Amino acid sequence: MADPIAIAARRPVLAPHASGAARAALSAAGPAARLSLRAKPDAVGALSAALGLDLPTAPKHAARNGARHALWLGPDEWLVIDEDEADLMAALSSAGALHSAVDVSHRNAGILVTGAEAATVINSGCPLDLSLTAFPVGACARTVLSKSEVVVYRTAEDAFRVECWRSFAPYVLAVLAEAAAEA
């Protein structure tokens, strides 16, 4: 007969938050400048020149130039992230094209999910197909993670950046940590 104590193995309540298992690890992304950018198709060229990267116009695509990323969220909507905290508003102020840019640097929090099981960890609460064929490196999408809306961005085959709203961040981190502890 199996030892009931062995079956009901207990983990310390804080263990998930301290885990850094090799198969999936979580870390908080550093501070970054972020923009919610809306524009019609005829302004994309001018805005791309002002930002120094080509704003993607195809679904699920992102563009990158150094520390600056532009993530396609919708047909006229992008999330621009600059990990060097460059002044994105100043860069766009001279674009000369009609657009709406809102600084959301402090509205979002970024969580980095890395490791061989990173996709599994995100898929524990997210229905998106994260296989490399459907979601290759550089792909991004706004979707849901458990009960929170997130933006998932694949930065490498085994690395994702999960952007969520600031007040949701502890919840999203806890959901991911729960899955990472079992990955």
Partner 1 sequence: MLLIHCPYCGEARAELEFRAAGDAHIDRPANIAAISDEEFAEYFFLRDNPKGLIYERWRHIHGCGRFFNAVRDTVSDKFVMTYKAGQPKPDLSPAPGAAPALPADSRPVETYEATEGRAE
Query: Which residue ranges make up the site for partner 1 (CB under 8 A)?
Result: 59-60, 73-75, 77, 127-128, 134, 141-144, 149
Q: Which of 31, 62, 68 is nearest to 50 (CA)?
A: 68
Backbone angles phi, psi at 121, to 5 degrees: -60, -45
| Rounded least distance, CB 78 to partner 1, Å | 11
| Rounded least distance, CB 60 to partner 1, Å | 7
**Sheet of 140-145, strands arranged across:** 25-28, 108-114, 159-165, 148-156, 140-145
| Rounded least distance, CB 24 to partner 1, Å | 22
- For partner 1, give the closer residue by CB, 2 or 58: 58
- Assess contact for 83 and 30: CB atoms under 8 A: yes
- For partner 1, give the closer residue by CB, 41 or 127: 127
